[in-house]
Structure 1
Amino acid sequence: MTDLATFCAALPKAELHLHIEGSLEPELMVALAKRNKVAIPFATVEDVRAAYRFTDLQSFLDIYYAGAAVLRTAEDFHDLAAAYFDRAAADGVVHAEIFFDPQTHTHRGIPFGLVMEGLTAAIDGARTKHGMSVYLIMSYLRHLSEEDAFATLREAEPWLDRFVGVGLDSSEVGNPPARFARVFAASRERGLRLCCHAGEEGPPAYVWEALDALGVDRIDHGNRALEDPALVARLARDATTLTVCPLSNVALRNVARLEDHPIDRMLGVGLRATIHSDDPAYFGGYIAENYRATAQARGLTRAQLVTLARNSLLGSFLPAPELVRHLAALDAFAA
């Protein structure tokens, strides 16, 4: 019998909730700081790891944005993404839809095109090296204004063919989705798919807003939807995908312990729940570790793990022929 860790790593799956800046491992952070002569408040890799202790979303974001300061060149963005794709391939990821935060970089003087040059080169490399398909999702930062988001959309115009959608992330509480209704409508008009972080720290009302004010295709996180039975019924009826991140939830104190995580409850009430790694360099594990640790903590069956993997493929933005091919491979694996 295959052990749990091996099974979770071999399971063909899609990763739909991964912030590429959040895959910046301490070793790479220190190396890039040296390469680019950027001062960071850490002398060693061990100092960086010691700082990865968070009390809430904002305490994480503070160090997340500080760490991004070492990313200066197209080569940096390429190396960051290529390292993630190597790890994802080892974890059984056959398709990835990754977030990037252009405002994090343009606000410190890094050109939008430079970020895209590095990321797209790594994406092309992942296809060649691993046979992995990768879609980019451009996230707007919700602690900034909608006008700033519109400016970012304008900067993105020359690159629209290289990403599949837009998202909304950063500090959730006090920044409701409806503030960004116009820029999401403009993004939809350009043929982009829509995602939104909602119901992580924010209330169920934010999930309703993401659905009704933004018209999203997918909800990122969504844990707190469970507090609203009418919302649960709607999400289940519409087969709306929730991209859940268990190790992140524990690291940011949204769930006290992994043993308390509601992932199996989500499946039980008919939600299309999935498992992903969010910001794995900061939260202690890439996607296979999220599957393994959650399965062990919650006693998930292999059938439930296969369902989570199937949900990730169904929740992707893949065209039908590719989706059918991946589902067939998953069925063969499960059999």
Structure 2
Amino acid sequence: MTDLDSFITGLPKAELHLHIEGSLEPELMFALAERNGVAIPFASVEDVRAAYAFSNLQDFLDIYYAGASVLQTEADFHDLALAYFDRAAADGVLHAEIMFDPQTHTDRGIAFDTVMRGLLSGMAAAQTKHGMTSALIMSFLRHLTEDAAFETLAVAEPWLDRIAAVGLDSSEVGHPPAKFARVFAAAREKGLKLVAHAGEEGPPEYVYEALDLLQVDRIDHGNRAMEDRALVERLAGTGMTLTVCPLSNLKLCVVSDLVDHPLDRMLAQGLKATINSDDPAYFGGYVADNYRAVAQARGLSRKDLATLARNSFSGSFLPPSAVAAHLAAIDAYMA
């Protein structure tokens, strides 16, 4: 391990953009398929990995939803979550805000309560095992209707005290944030934080809609905001956190090469960017892999990396006292 590798691994950090279903490694997919008697369209772990050559977001989503079919029981969701937390802890993650897609499961007959109990028990196990804190973000699938999102919000009602925020993910192009303005307003009235994928494949206008119509607390991705100078100035001026995912951007062809990634330009223009892994089982790396890849491609300094780590805590939904403690830990690490 190089000095930079060990520095990145040891740097205290939070992860704010992680789809728990997207941390389903091929080995666990096969184990759960066998455990639950579920047929999957792959003959081997190697076949799954070979299928991970995507050309766009939809190619990825097709495999992602097929993989999710093996998740059937509370134990499956527990095992999925704890496997992610084990990997994240090894990468120096002290706090994770994980997204889950309940509609992916309820639409195939899995009870919302089953998903929640499994994820929450995995989160509790991670706190006991690693001392890691975590929070849940319930994401609406944007290729479905707003009425379907309202139905999910209603089903989630008994669990809302265990859910930190709602989000918006899945196919971005053709499904603008405006489509979900009313359900986001309803979630805000229930005291939930709000995040949304915007400006990954969709245009800068989608980022404006997420800000103005959804009134989000955080933007997931946000790369294409860089195309609009006024938008960049607005995001920088308000301190809006962007949860950037470099290896995801590469795998989904949002950038053709990490040498072209805008992360350092984001920092230079005052944007509160963070580094995250998105769907690490599918995109070739967990959070430290993302730090390493973009640091090498863009020549990021240790100071830049520490800034990104600080942003991950100050952009989190942790209480101010916890944020302050984590920032102090980064200061001590840098000293």
TM-score surpassing 0.5? yes
Q: CA deviation at 1:174?
A: 0.2
Q: Give the equivalent residue in structure 1 for 2:175.
A: 175
Please say if residues 5 and 289 of structure 1, whose CA atoms lie closer than 8 Å, have aligned partners that are also in contact. no
Q: What's 1:238 paired with? A: 238
Describe the superposition over 1:252-275 as per-residue Cα deviations: whole angstroms up to 9, x where unpaired: 000000111000000000000010
State whether residues 223 and 244 of structure 1, in contact with CA within 8 Å, keep that contact through their aligned partners in structure 2: yes
Say if 2:81 is the partner of 1:81. yes
Whole-Å Cα distance in 1 between the matches of residues 208 and 36 of structure 2? 43
Matches of 1:108 and 1:334, distance apart in 2? 48
User: After TM superposition, where is structure 1 displaced by more than 4 Å over at least 4 residues in a row?
Assistant: none
Matched residue of 1:129: which SS? helix
Deviation at 1:3, TM superposition (A): 1.1
Letter in 2 for 1:210: A
- The equivalent residue for 1:326 is 326
SS of the counterpart of 2:18?
Answer: coil
Q: Give me the whole-angstrom Cα distance separating, in 2, the residues matched to 1:304 and 1:166.
A: 29
Q: Distance in 1 between matches of 2:55 and 2:267?
A: 28
Deviations 1:51-101 (A, max 9, x none): 101000000000000100000000000000000000000101111000000
Distance 1:55 1:191 in 2: 38
Contact 1:17 1:99 in 2 (8 A): yes
Q: CA deviation at 1:7?
A: 1.1
Q: Corresponding residue for 1:64? A: 64
1:254 maps to which residue? 254
- How many residues are paired up? 335
Letter in 2 for 1:219: I
Q: Taking structure 2 as the reference length, what is the TM-score of the superposition? A: 0.99
Q: Secondary structure at the match of 1:17?
A: strand
Report the AA paired with residue 288 of structure 1: A
Aligned to 1:211: 211
Identical pairs, percent: 72
Task: Give SS of 1:318's match.
Answer: coil
Secondary structure of the 1:18 match is: strand
The CA deviation at 1:24 is 0.2
CA RMSD of aligned residues (A): 0.8
Please, which runs of 5 or more residues in structure 1 have no aligned partner?
A: none
- The alpha-carbon deviation at position 224 of structure 1 amounts to 0.2
Q: Does 1:106 align with 2:106?
A: yes
The amino acid of 2:98's aligned partner reads I
How far apart are 1:237 and its partner, in Å? Answer: 0.3
Give the secondary structure class of the aligned counterpart of 1:16: strand
1:223-248 Cα offsets, whole Å, 9 max, x none, are 00000001001000000000000000
Q: Distance in 2 between matches of 1:56 and 1:304?
A: 29
Whole-angstrom distance in 2 between the partners of 1:255 and 1:8: 23
What displacement does 1:2 show? 6.2
Q: Would the aligned equivalents of 1:146 and 1:180 in 2 still touch at CA under 8 Å? A: yes
Show structure 2 runs of 5+ residues with no match. none
TM-score (norm 1): 0.99
